[in-house]
Amino acid sequence: MKKVLIKEWLVSGWKLTIRHWKTYILYSLIAAFVSDIAGLIFYHTVSKSPILTLFISNIVMVPFICGFYRIFIKQVVNDEKINIKDLFKGFEVFVPSNIATLVILIFTGLGAILLIIPGFIVAALYTFTLPLIMEKRLGFWTAMEKSRKTIWKNWAAFTIFGIISFIILIIGSLTIVGIFIIFPWIIASTTYAYKDWIGFGNTGDSQ
């Protein structure tokens, strides 16, 4: 029977992140820089709307998150060597990853309208969506449904995992350097959860 091993995932994710911390900080900086530049270009050439500028930056950031999942999956599977190309591999799933993220945000927002906790529950149900899109190349809805069905019976534990991860990210964002190591740590921890509950191997449906 599969178990929700929150402490083990976080500890394993931290150990993996610290082992290559310089690389992950560099990659996080690159992702943030490229996303911000995309937003600035949009701001100065298309629209000076702060909301739309932030939207564009986030659209560019999503594939980088997928790229980080690729990196950690390679390292968790058999400690493969990684390079900067892996970070940009997420752009191969640019469209499905962004559509999934947008839909999840909408669903989470609707849940948050009810109460704060339902919003976290909805977000928790879709924890594995992006790694499923990246690793198994599933379409956005197929990935969302597989994540939801996988987590459904253990939604409470995964919600706790999500809340803890969120709190860690908030704490990390309080310092300039902190977020650039906390960000990959959370993705690494989620990758270990993905390994236990989904498993590796490109056996999913194609996009």
pLDDT digits (tens, 9 = 90+) for 90-126: 999 999 999 999 999 999 988 877 766 688 899 999 9
SS (H, E, C) the chain: CCCCCHHHHHHHHHHHHHHCHHHHHHHHHHHHHHHHHHHHHHHHHCCCCHHHHHHHHHHHHHHHHHHHHHHHHHHHHHCCCCCHHHHHHHHHHHHHHHHHHHHHHHHHHHHHHHCHHHHHHHHHHCCCHHHHHHHHCCCHHHHHHHHHHHHHHHHHHHHHHHHHHHHHHHHHCCCCCHHHHHHHHHHHHHHHHHHHHCCCCCCCCCC
Cα–Cα distance between 165 and 191 in angstroms, integer? 13
List the one residue out of 67, 113, 115 whose CA is nearest residue 91.
67
The mean pLDDT value for 62-79 works out to 92
Q: Cβ(71)–Cβ(131) under 8 Å?
A: no
One-letter identity of residue 45: T
pLDDT over 60 (residue 206): no
Ranges of each domain in the chain: 6-195
Cα–Cα distance between 36 and 58 in angstroms, integer? 9
pLDDT over 50 (residue 204): no
Cα–Cα distance between 133 and 143 in angstroms, integer? 6
Token pair for 63 = 């594939």
Name the pLDDT band for 78 (thresholds 50, 70, 90). Answer: confident
CA 154 to chain CA centroid, nearest Å = 20
Say which range, 79-83, 107-111, 174-178, has the weakest mean pLDDT: 174-178
The mean pLDDT value for 146-175 works out to 94
The mean pLDDT value for 139-164 works out to 96
Say which range, 1-5, 44-48, 182-186, has the weakest mean pLDDT: 1-5
Q: Cβ(131)–Cβ(74) under 8 Å?
A: no
Token pair for 2 = 């599969």
Percent over 70 (pLDDT), the chain? 96
